[in-house]
Amino acid sequence: GGTLAIRARVLTYHAHPLGVGEGGSHRYIEDGLVVISDGLIEAVGEAGALLPDLALDCPVADYRPFLVTAGFVDPHLHLPQTQVVGSYGTELMEWLQRYTFPEETRYGDPAVADAASRFLLHELLRNGTTTAVAFCTSHPQSVESFFTESQRIGLRMVAGKVMMDRNAPEALLDTPRRGYDESKALIARWHGNGRLAYAISPRFAPTSTEAQLEATQALAAEYPAMHVQTHLCENTGEIAFVAELFPWSKDYTAVYERYGLVRRKALFGHCIHLSERERGALAEAGATAVFCPTSNLFLGSGLFDRDAALEAGLRTGIATDIGGGTSYSMLTTAAEGYKVLALRRQTLPGHAAFYMLTAGNADAIGYGDRIGQVAPGFEADLVVLDTHATPALRRRMERVETLEEELFVLMTMGDDRSIVSTYAAGRKVHARGTGGIDLPPR
């Protein structure tokens, strides 16, 4: 890989475990330069200070007056749900049975998984998202497909084969043995292969027998540093079902605790209806709660309590949850997050939101040391943002005075039209108005 530089307004957040309150710790450079070498950020500073030392043949992409920040991180979404977004009229358990499970059975066909992987990754890049943590289906081929396409583009991605052995259509069920063996084979092939990492992925307690949770516990014990992803306390009907299925358990979280799944880099989607005990247990283990606002609104699941999470010291991310979620855009996701919190008389200022989309989500998935910041030594995953991309944005921005306001309006009114370009490991992988560029052939 060569050397290149990006000239723009530069914005970055510093790792700030457990999130930020009002504002947080950021660095902003009005006329900045980001120097990239071999896929890593080599230097960040004032253009005036860095340009004289730049090699004469170093290409400089001049993006002024656009804003460059770290590529967005989406810590919870589903590869096989791009064609169930906006399925009408149900809440969680019926939505799964009526729309989602039948759709996921199609992913036994590699051609279906390949087409979905190409679509999803391209759509994420069009929205400025450079890293995601993804549930595939119970078919190992769906993970093969997702990782193959991620590697071709050069993305840092985390994904896993869903394990589920009850309460779903036969065609989606594995067994404790098969779930374990298929996960292990995928780990051997993909985990740590370039920028890819495997996530141990029991779908959620209702779709695993205790025998499968035991096998999952064994797998997790073999890989103590590996991501775990599942769902927790999303919907009151779901929670009642868990109480029925696991009568010995004092609450939902205790099921996952019993099987050794509550730990660092364990990502729990939703976490809406947690008790204080559960919040404390998740926090103490260093686990992560993932707030999925568009999904929680669309499925009528409830309102995430961010202040309680902060209070408990519980690490929190924010994610799209495609396809319970309804937008691929992390800008829209933050905007809907703000509205959910507003209903709780809580808040999410502009800087806190952009912190969450970048360094915060990176930290939430255990990657706060390599992505999520525009800083030397970090991987050069970047997004270039046009805060004036639409007539409505231009009109509104006329009355904006501070960077904080500009960011807040961008998240509230912005979408994929504000994504000028996206870089992964220093390569331009999306340019607005084109079909994606600088990619190796398929």
Q: First-to-last CA distance in the chain? A: 20
Q: Shortest distance, CB of residue 168 to ligand GUN, whole angstroms?
A: 9
Contact 63, 10 (CB under 8 A): no
Q: Which neighbouring-strand residues pair with 40?
A: 37, 379
The reply to whether 231 sits near ligand GUN by the rule CB under 6 A is: yes
> Considering CB under 6 A, how many residues would be counted as binding ligand GUN?
11
Q: How far is CA 137 from CA 77, 79, 103, 150, in A?
A: 12, 8, 10, 16
Q: Shortest distance, CB of residue 217 to ligand GUN, whole angstroms?
A: 19
**Of 234, 257, 415, 416, which one interacts with ligand GUN (CB under 6 A)?**
234
Report the half-sphere exposure of 223 (CA within 13 A, side-chain side). Answer: 21
Contact 315, 75 (CB under 8 A): no
Q: Shortest distance, CB of residue 269 to Fe ion, whole angstroms?
A: 5
Q: Which neighbouring-strand residues pair with 200?
A: 228
C-alpha 385/C-alpha 410 separation (Å) is: 9
Of 10 and 77, CB closest to ligand GUN: 77
Q: Which of residues 300-359 bind Fe ion (CB under 5 A)?
A: 321
- Please choose which of ligand GUN, Fe ion, none residue 203 contacts, taking the beta carbon within 5 to 8 angstroms, the exact cut-off set by kind: ligand GUN
The reply to whether 251 sits near Fe ion by the rule CB under 5 A is: no
CB atoms within 10 A of CB 231: 26
List the x/- string, 316-355, binding to ligand GUN by CB under 6 A.
Answer: -----x--x-------------------------------
Q: Binding segment for ligand GUN among 92-100, 143-151, 179-187, 256-264 (CB under 6 A)?
A: 92-100
> Considering CB under 5 A, how many residues would be counted as binding Fe ion?
2
The reply to whether 103 sits near ligand GUN by the rule CB under 6 A is: no
Of 78 and 315, CB closest to ligand GUN: 78
Alpha helices in 8-91 (DSSP H): 47-50
- Please choose which of Fe ion, ligand GUN, none residue 204 contacts, taking the beta carbon within 5 to 8 angstroms, the exact cut-off set by kind: ligand GUN
C-alpha 337/C-alpha 356 separation (Å) is: 11
By DSSP bridging, strand 266-270 and strand 288-291 are: parallel
- Please choose which of Fe ion, ligand GUN, none residue 201 contacts, taking the beta carbon within 5 to 8 angstroms, the exact cut-off set by kind: none
Cis peptide before 169 (omega within 30 of 0): no
Three-class SS state of 428 = strand
C-alpha 107/C-alpha 168 separation (Å) is: 15
List the x/- string, 48-87, binding to ligand GUN by CB under 6 A.
Answer: ------------------------------x---------
Q: Give contact residues for ligand GUN (rule: CB under 6 A).
A: 78, 92, 96, 100, 203-204, 231, 234, 295, 321, 324
Residues of the shown chain interacting with Fe ion in the complex, contacts defined by CB under 5 A? 269, 321
